[in-house]
Amino acid sequence: MAFDWFKRKTKNITTSTEDKKDVPKGLWHQTPTGKIIEHEELKANNYVSPEDGFHVRIGSNEFFSILFDDNKYTELDADVESVDMLNFKDTKSYTDRLKEVKAKTKLTDSIRNAVGKVNGTEMVVSCMDFAFIGGSLGSVMGEKIRRAVDYCIEHKLPYMIICQSGGARMQEATYSLMQLAKVQAKLAQLSEAGLLYIAYLCDPTFGGITASFAMTADIIMAEPGALIGFAGPRVIRETIGKDLPEGFQTSEFLQEKGFVDFIVKRTEIKEKVSKTVNLLVH
């Protein structure tokens, strides 16, 4: 038995396949509140929706372009890459996972170091990329931060880390956890040298990042509405057996409790960082 309702009775589409054009990806962006914004307008506003103030998650390329004057900077230690020292395998081997994420993101790991001028003041900025295995802390992140701190000490420059991470990288096990102590030791040397360290916490900042260097900066800034914590709210709720306060683990909640110094919109981060550096360094 034939079903005629599957057949097109009139030929409505006459455009040839060769002449068809796809709508460019990223032309529009929809925020969680349902606001629609054109991509170019979003980019011009430092990837913050002018409709509702929502901060779209961005990577190191975008942050460097926002912070450094005329988008001019020199990347440091770009050739440092992760390796599978434990031959770790979960749903797939760590080696294969690294190959896939490197090809997809065009990054070598979850953090990049750069030196340049922010409103005329030279400084070093390390920025995490959440797109690379959730911005996870592994041996390369720890090593890159170590090298960035050494560069700051050698050239007497202020330092900033932009944090956005789910925590430690499980595929590197104890090697990952060792980075907490390694980074803290280097930041202690930075402090002994009398150099400023600023942390800027973005959504999300969790796990070992929060348990160490994200919360030990001289000045701790955070994006509005960023989720910041060690364990997630579900785990905490089940552990203590109580409902959590409204806004729990948001940057505003942490500022109220004294863990964050300033809530800084991304549209204002360059001015706030340069003013802070000039006030505390010069």
- 11 within domain boundaries: no
- 260 within domain boundaries: yes
Same domain membership, residue 121 and residue 47 = no
Task: Count Cα neighbours of 137 within 13 Å in the Cβ-side half-sphere.
Answer: 28
Is residue 182 within 8 A of residue 224, CB to CB? The reply is: no
Same domain membership, residue 79 and residue 174 = yes
- 99 within domain boundaries: yes
* Angle at the Cα of 154 from the Cα atoms of 114 and 76, rounded to 5 degrees: 20
Total domain count for the chain? 2
- CB neighbour class for 236 (10 Å; exposed up to 12, middle 13-18, buried from 19): middle
- CB neighbour class for 137 (10 Å; exposed up to 12, middle 13-18, buried from 19): buried
More confident residue, 142 or 22: 142
Same domain membership, residue 62 and residue 51 = no
Is residue 201 within 8 A of residue 220, CB to CB? The reply is: yes
Question: Which conformational region is residue 170 in: left (phi greater than 0), alpha (psi within -120 to 50 degrees), or beta?
Answer: alpha
Residue 65: in which H helix or E strand, if any? helix 60-67
Identify the domain containing residue 40 by its residue range: 20-56
Lowest-confidence region among 25-29, 168-172, 229-233, 257-261 = 25-29
Quickly state the pLDDT bin for 233 (edges 50, 70, 90).
Answer: confident
The alpha carbon of residue 215 and the mean position of all alpha carbons in its chain are separated, in whole angstroms, by 15
Give the number of residues written for the chain: 282
pLDDT (tens digit, 9 = 90+) per residue, 123-154? 999 999 999 999 999 999 999 999 999 999 99
Which tokens go with 32?
């969680």
Which residue is associated with the tokens 């930075």?
A: 190
Same domain membership, residue 136 and residue 261 = yes
- CB neighbour class for 163 (10 Å; exposed up to 12, middle 13-18, buried from 19): buried
Per-residue confidence (pLDDT) for residue 11, from 0 to 100:
52
Per-residue confidence (pLDDT) for residue 6, from 0 to 100:
47
Per-residue confidence (pLDDT) for residue 10, from 0 to 100:
52
- What are the residues facing 73 on neighbouring strands? 116
Amino acid at position 263, single letter: I
Answer whether residue 18 shows pLDDT above 80: no
Which of 36, 56, 76 delimits the end of a domain? Answer: 56
Q: What is the pTM of this model?
A: 0.86
Q: What is the mean pLDDT of residues 66-81?
A: 96
Main-chain dihedrals φ then ψ at residue 124, nearest 5 degrees: -105, 135
* Mean pLDDT value across the chain: 89
Q: What is the mean pLDDT of residues 74-97?
A: 93
